[in-house]
Amino acid sequence: MTERLAVSAETAGSGPHDFIAGLPKAELHVHHIGSASPRIVSELAARHPDSRVPVDPEALAGYFTFTDFAHFIDVYLSVVDLIRTPEDVRLLTYEVARELARQQVRYAELTITPFSSTRRGIDARAFMEAIEDARKAAESEFGTVLRWCFDIPGEAGLEAAEETTRLATDDRLRPEGLVSFGLGGPEIGVPRPQFKPYFDRAIAAGLHSVPHAGETTGPGTVWDALVDLRAERIGHGTGAARDPELLAHLAERRIALEVCPTSNIATRAVTRLDEHPIREFARAGVLVTVNSDDPPMFGTDLNTEYAIAARLLDLDEEGLAALAKNAVEASFLDAPGKTRLAAEIDAYTASWLSSRPLR
Ligand SMILES: [Zn+2]
């Protein structure tokens, strides 16, 4: 049974929100545990009553209101604490895929922090089996292809880096869906260059490098990610806007930025949406992708982020389709997969435009 919603150009409405709702998309920057909807978090909190996370969905909404980035990390880690068994892992992964499919996401690279689970005592092999089982079920039932990015939680230091690298590169553990290696958590006080040896090992094992950088710090962190961690895409990169030379470098090398507008407001990395540097990125010719980061925690979803980007960048339907195709280009899908998804975006857009009265 497929639960993919069949929103066609003929049956959907005519506004940009309706166009976006049906637009086939790729999501490149979304966190596994950070995608837990209030319904899932509530279910997990009820399963683990010793947690400090509220069970009541209304109380949860208040709990997810952040004062600053440090507070966000604190709340996030309390949700991490709810994932204690392989069954918790499987449930979360499968439900996240259902939510992506609802938004017409055909392909998603989900950032997973396996260290958070193995540190809690979940067996590494059982963890890998849980995510792979959910991935295969999601692909056959929802039609959404999932791939994994294993990321180092920067706040947990080099022990976490070592364990994440081991889980990502050990042939007996490494899951089939793993394509990339990342680095998240706070940037202030957590210099990127110290993670170089771990990224070197992951890259040598065939993984792509996709660290967060310049989310809450300046362009120097993005340069570190490019030079030391050999980043192929940058998570956020907000601070890059302050360095024209860096923007030119990103544009020339087609190194995409994974922009997550609402997240940047929620964590106070950017003060107001109208001040978001996405316009500077686009003007500089940088390959901009739009993503949702930790959507339920920030009260958003990928479709909402596309609507925000449409407003900030003044995009019509063709502009939105081009934005969706940027994510396809920047993804780690294989070449036939990229061609197929880009063609699906084009076909949807052409059908939408031809079914409307002339403007
Ligand atoms: Zn992120």
Give the tens place of pLDDT for each residue, 293-348.
Answer: 999 888 899 999 999 999 999 999 999 999 999 999 999 999 999 999 999 999 99
Q: What is the DSSP letter of 193?
A: G
Cα of 347 to ligand 1 centre, how many Å? 31
Res 8: pLDDT: 36
Q: Which pTM does this prediction carry?
A: 0.91
Residue type, 256: A
pLDDT at position 173 over 50: yes
Q: Rounded to an integer, what distance in angstroms lies between the CA atom of residue 52 and that of residue 39? A: 16
Res 98: pLDDT: 94
pLDDT at position 76 over 90: no
Res 1: pLDDT: 32
What distances in angstroms separate CA 271 from CA 39, 70, 149, 152, one per listed residue? 29, 16, 29, 27
Res 79: pLDDT: 84
Res 2: pLDDT: 32
Cα of 212 to ligand 1 centre, how many Å? 7
Q: Rounded to an integer, what distance in angstroms lies between the CA atom of residue 64 and that of residue 296? A: 9
Res 235: pLDDT: 98
pLDDT at position 113 over 70: yes
**pLDDT above 70 covers what percent of the chain?**
95
Q: Residue 199 — pLDDT band, cuts 50, 70, 90?
A: very high
Q: What is the DSSP letter of 154?
A: G
Cross-strand partners of 213: 236
Q: Residue 9 — pLDDT band, cuts 50, 70, 90?
A: very low
Rounded average pLDDT over 230-242: 97
Strand, helix or coil for residue 3: coil
Greatest extent of the chain over all pairs of C-alpha atoms, in Å? 60
The residue from 27, 95, 109, 215 that is catalytic is 215
Looking at per-residue pLDDT, the higher value among 36 and 30 belongs to 30
pLDDT at position 5 over 70: no
Average pLDDT over all residues of the chain: 91
As a whole number of Å, the end-to-end CA separation of the chain is 39
Q: Residue 22 — pLDDT band, cuts 50, 70, 90?
A: very high
pLDDT at position 286 over 80: yes
Res 10: pLDDT: 36
Rounded average pLDDT over 69-87: 84
Helix extents (H) in the chain = 16-22, 38-47, 57-63, 69-80, 86-102, 114-118, 124-142, 157-169, 196-204, 219-227, 244-253, 261-266, 278-283, 302-313, 317-330, 335-354
Do residues 125 and 135 touch, judged by C-beta distance below 8 A? no
Res 7: pLDDT: 35
Cα of 214 to ligand 1 centre, how many Å? 11
Beta carbons within 10 angstroms of residue 158's beta carbon? 12
Q: Residue 123 — pLDDT band, cuts 50, 70, 90?
A: very high
Q: What is the DSSP letter of 37?
A: -
Cα of 237 to ligand 1 centre, how many Å? 11
Rounded average pLDDT over 111-120: 94
Q: Rounded to an integer, what distance in angstroms lies between the CA atom of residue 258 and that of residue 238? A: 9
Q: In which residue are the tokens 């709340």 written?
A: 75
Res 66: pLDDT: 72
Res 3: pLDDT: 32
Rounded average pLDDT over 127-146: 98
Contacts of residue 270, Cβ cutoff 8 Å, sequence gap at least 6: 238, 261, 264, 276, 277
Cα of 210 to ligand 1 centre, how many Å? 10
Res 85: pLDDT: 93
Do residues 289 and 327 touch, judged by C-beta distance below 8 A? yes
Res 296: pLDDT: 86
Q: Is 163 a catalytic residue?
A: no
Looking at per-residue pLDDT, the higher value among 334 and 359 belongs to 334
Q: Rounded to an integer, what distance in angstroms lies between the CA atom of residue 286 and that of residue 88? A: 38
Cα of 184 to ligand 1 centre, how many Å? 6
Going by their DSSP bridges, the two strands 212-213 and 25-31 should be labelled as unpaired
Res 13: pLDDT: 46
Structure tokens at 358: 């002339």
Res 60: pLDDT: 79
Res 14: pLDDT: 52
Rounded average pLDDT over 244-262: 98
Beta carbons within 10 angstroms of residue 21's beta carbon? 18
Rounded average pLDDT over 95-123: 95
Q: Rounded to an integer, what distance in angstroms lies between the CA atom of residue 20 and that of residue 166? A: 39
Looking at per-residue pLDDT, the higher value among 78 and 252 belongs to 252
